[in-house]
Structure 1
Amino acid sequence: MITDGASTKDRLLAEGMRLFALQGFRATTVGQIEAAAGLQPRRGALYRHFPSKEALLDEAVRRHLDSVRARRTEVVRGEVADVYDEALALGRYVLDELASQRAVVDVFEHEGDRVAEQRDAFREQVSDAGYRVMAEALRRWIGGDPAPGFDVDGAAVLLLGALINVHRSTWTFAGAPLGLDEARILAAWSLQCVTVVAAARS
């Protein structure tokens, strides 16, 4: 969304990503981005800020990665107070991040091979890093060596993957599974985290 006070560069970034997600990176022209940003198309406005359409995508992905890294420091750390409450906070963080990633993810899903460098950076610094954060949270919550045979990384992938799948299903079908609201989904997910931690401690 473009605010009234957004700079020309910010408008170009926002509209470029919106159009890339809507109609594809290759199909989107520089003129379309300029027009959507409220500028005269094909007058060189985009090139005053970016050397190419690819550079605009690079900048949008870089900004998103910087934002994710900054927000990740807000995830609960230190001494564990209550697993359920921490899981609830982590779940809210994950859903907020997923919402902010939609345009970027849409671009990678539709044309990932054309923007492989940006896609791979996103996977490493956002997707894989998210699973590592989940695994780190589980290890903190467990508080020691897990029960024999318990796979912390595997549990992290399944727990976080479940939350991601619910969110992606909501995107795809324009409604949450079974019509559940976010509060119910997060409560159920947090309770599942507690159950998994209890199993790992036994």
Structure 2
Amino acid sequence: MTAAMDLFGRQGYHATTIAQIEAAAGLSAGAGGLYRHFRSKRAVLEEGLDRQATAGRQLLSYLAVEPAPAGRRERFLAVARAGLARLEEERDVNRLLLRDLASFPDLLDLVRERELRRVHLAVTEFLRAELPGEEDPEALAAVVMAAVSHYWIMADVFGGKHPHEVDTERFLRALVRVVVPEDLFADDVVDGGGVDGAT
């Protein structure tokens, strides 16, 4: 499974052959060893997506954990960092999502239902709790997820370095300033919830 998902991520599902998967997994290439474990190449892909659906607990767990870091900006920064880390951990599946899953509408629906909606709901609830005055936390969650995802995608496409040459920390802190306005940040200071001086 690991070998297959790595190949799918690097060269694409359609360009990857069963023989390549077998060779990468230490089986005799072309001897059919993969079929002792999976009925087809698609079955390998389905299993990889199932694994992703059960992953991501770090991000979702963080969103539900109390106590969190002091200060709204620090809590949001921690969530955004966890989101980027999750995207990187699931790099191969994310590449598949962008490049290959349009060929499998049913699997694309699966990712939307079991992964994207689940994370969107968790981020929405986090924002609703953190920003009670926000008029549309669902839309804001979509904006935040889009920003973090796009940053990761562009960095991945350009070999790990974002084309705008804005490093990860600068990006995340700018995003935090946009999402958590200065007046709410001031409330944190008044309430005594210390915030990192670099924020």
What is the TM-score when the length of structure 1 is the normalising length? 0.79
CA distance in 2, matches of 1:78, 1:97: 20
RMSD (Å), alpha carbons: 2.5
1:29 corresponds to? 17
When residues 173 and 196 of structure 1 are mapped into structure 2, their CA distance, relative to the original with a 3 A threshold, is farther
1:173 corresponds to? 158
Which of 153, 158, 169 is equivalent to 1:183?
A: 169
Q: Which runs of 5+ in 1 are unaligned?
A: 1-12
> Matched residue of 2:63: which SS?
coil
Taking only the aligned residue pairs, the percentage that are identical comes to 29
CA distance in 2, matches of 1:163, 1:106: 15
Q: Which runs of 5+ in 2 are unaligned?
A: 188-199
Tell me by how many angstroms 1:122 deviates.
1.3
1:6 corresponds to? none
2:8 corresponds to? 20
Which of 43, 64, 68 is equivalent to 2:56?
A: 68
CA distance in 1, matches of 2:72, 2:148: 17
When residues 70 and 91 of structure 1 are mapped into structure 2, their CA distance, relative to the original with a 3 A threshold, is closer
Which of 41, 56, 73 is equivalent to 1:84?
A: 73
CA distance in 1, matches of 2:144, 2:15: 36
> Matched residue of 1:165: which SS?
helix
Tell me by how many angstroms 1:46 deviates.
0.8
When residues 67 and 58 of structure 1 are mapped into structure 2, their CA distance, relative to the original with a 3 A threshold, is same
Aligned 1:90-101 pairs, distance under 5 A: 90-101=79-90
2:148 corresponds to? 163
CA distance in 1, matches of 2:164, 2:100: 31
Cα distance per residue 1:6-63 (max 9 Å; x no partner): xxxxxxx122112223333233221111012222112222112112111111111111
Point out which structure has higher relative CO (alpha carbons under 8 A, 6+ apart): 2
CA distance in 1, matches of 2:12, 2:109: 18
> Matched residue of 2:32: which SS?
coil
1:123 corresponds to? 112
1:139 corresponds to? 128
Tell me by how many angstroms 1:85 deviates.
1.3
When residues 35 and 165 of structure 1 are mapped into structure 2, their CA distance, relative to the original with a 3 A threshold, is same
